[in-house]
Amino acid sequence: MPSLKAISISSNYCFSKIPVNQIRFLEGLGLEGDVHSGVTVKHRSRVKRDPTQPNLRQVHLLYFELIQQLQAEGFNVLPGSMGGNLTTVGIDLLGLPPGTLLDIGLEAQLCITGLRNPCKQLDDYQPGLMAAVLERDVDGGLVR
């Protein structure tokens, strides 16, 4: 059965997020107390390009199965350590197309806006981590 394994937030810009027991979803904004919450873009690289862009990355989802895979490969990763807000179990996040509505609990609903792009901060956290989360399909296309 699909579920949440962990919830994590951070009130300031840092790579990892801190586990919490509960969160409050703010409609159209994201998670209360999280640095990425807001109507306009909050990622520093995107703010630098155009601070008026809509914020399509208010809540970051990461699937626990990836964390388990990375742990088996020797990486020291936990829910929240790679910047994810919600760590899911049993949900094919990579297979959800943009526009998918995902129910979280009894009252919250998230709209999937797309995949998060892995960045060099992964290697700053642990060398080799970025390569470990990127794969190629049979046609050579990038699988994140």
Judge residue 123's burial from the number of C-beta atoms within 10 Å of its C-beta, 0-12 exposed, 13-18 middle, 19 or more buried: middle
Which H or E run contains 46?
A: helix 44-49
Between 142 and 97, the higher pLDDT residue:
97
Residue 84 is predicted with a pLDDT of 94
Average pLDDT over residues 4-17: 93
Candidate from 2-6, 57-61, 67-71, 133-137 with smallest mean pLDDT: 133-137
Domain locations along the chain: 3-114
Burial 44-78, CB ≥16 within 10 A → b, else e? eeeeeeeeeeebebbbbbbbbbbbeebeeeebebe
Average pLDDT over residues 114-141: 86
**DSSP 8-state assignment for residue 85:** S
Amino acid at 86: L
**67-106 pLDDT per residue, tens:** 999 999 999 999 999 999 999 999 999 899 999 999 998 8
| pLDDT exceeds 70 at position 144 | no
**18-51 pLDDT per residue, tens:** 999 999 999 999 999 999 999 988 877 777 888 8
| Phi then psi dihedrals of residue 94, to 5 deg | -65, -25
**115-127 pLDDT per residue, tens:** 877 888 899 999 9
Q: Pick the closest to residue 92 from 109, 74, 112 (CA basis).
A: 112
The CATH class of 3-114 is: mainly beta
Amino acid at 27: E
Amino acid at 117: N
| pLDDT exceeds 80 at position 143 | no
Average pLDDT over residues 107-121: 87
Give Rg (Cα) of the chain.
15
